[in-house]
Structure formats: structure tokens, C-alpha cells
Amino acid sequence: AQSVSQHNHHVILSEAASLELGCNYSYGGTVNLFWYVQYPGQHLQLLLKYFSGDPLVKGIKGFEAEFIKSKFSFNLRKPSVQWSDTAEYFCAVISYNTDKLIFGTGTRLQVFP
């Protein structure tokens, strides 16, 4: 079955630390990839997306992600996190074969000052 895996369930960092959240998917064929963020009490919003082209994509608030097709991965990175990055992060993948946007189980990030 098609699935999206986020291996880090809960990450705790201090401000200014670097962040990398893993995302792997099990689809074949053409995919579109997304990272969404859900701040406490707010709705899900898009951080960044990859459809085609340069596999290194930049999103809002200094986040970036790299698509590595051979590894079926789309890891999210930020060089220096801030307290305001405390949120839950979801990786999502849609396959052109299924047209279903499937989410990973999410990673809860806590950043301490």
C-alpha cells in the first residue's frame, strides 16, 4: 500500500540548532511532494512543495527540502530554528496514479529558548 513515513515523532531542540525532519514515501511513478505545518491552535498551512525541476526547494520562514528520487525521500531542513517554529510538521505526497494526497503521521517539534 502507498504510504508516507515520518520517522521522527517528537523532536526537541534549542533555539539556533539545526533541524532535519525525515520523510520517505512508497509510491512509484510521478509524485508531488509537500510539507505542511500546523502551529498550535491554527490550521494546516503549506510550508513548501515540489512538483518538478530543482530538487532543492525553498519555502517560507527559511525552510527548505530536498527531493532525492533514488531514496524516495523529501527531508525538511532549517539551519537555525526559532522558538516560533514550535509546531507539528506533516509530510504529504500525491501520486499522479492515485490523485490522493496522503500524509505522514507528523512530527511534533518543540523549540526551547
Partner 1 sequence: KAGVTQTPRYLIKTRGQQVTLSCSPISGHRSVSWYQQTPGQGLQFLFEYFSETQRNKGNFPGRFSGRQFSNSRSEMNVSTLELGDSALYLCASSIQDGTTEAFFGQGTRLTVV
What's the angle, vertex CA 24, arms to CA 23 and CA 30, rounded to 5? 115
Q: Which is nearer to partner 1, 46 or 56 (CB)?
A: 46
Helices (H) and strands (E) in the chain, counts: 0, 12
Q: How far is the CB of 88 from partner 1 (least distance, A)?
A: 9
Site for partner 1 in 82-111 (CB under 8 A): 90, 92, 94, 96, 98-106
- Sole binder of partner 1 in the list 43, 54, 70, 113 (CB under 8 A): 43
Q: How far is the CB of 34 from partner 1 (least distance, A)?
A: 8
Site for partner 1 in 45-64 (CB under 8 A): 45-46, 49, 51
Distances from the Cα of 16 to the Cα of 61, 85, 102, 113, angstroms: 14, 11, 31, 9
Q: Which is nearer to partner 1, 17 or 103 (CB)?
A: 103
Q: Which is nearer to partner 1, 4 or 81 (CB)?
A: 4
Q: How far is the CB of 27 from partner 1 (least distance, A)?
A: 13
| Rounded CA separation 47/66 (Å) | 13
- Look at the block and give the residue holding cell 525552510: 63
**Up-side HSE of residue 23: CA atoms within 13 Å toward CB?**
28
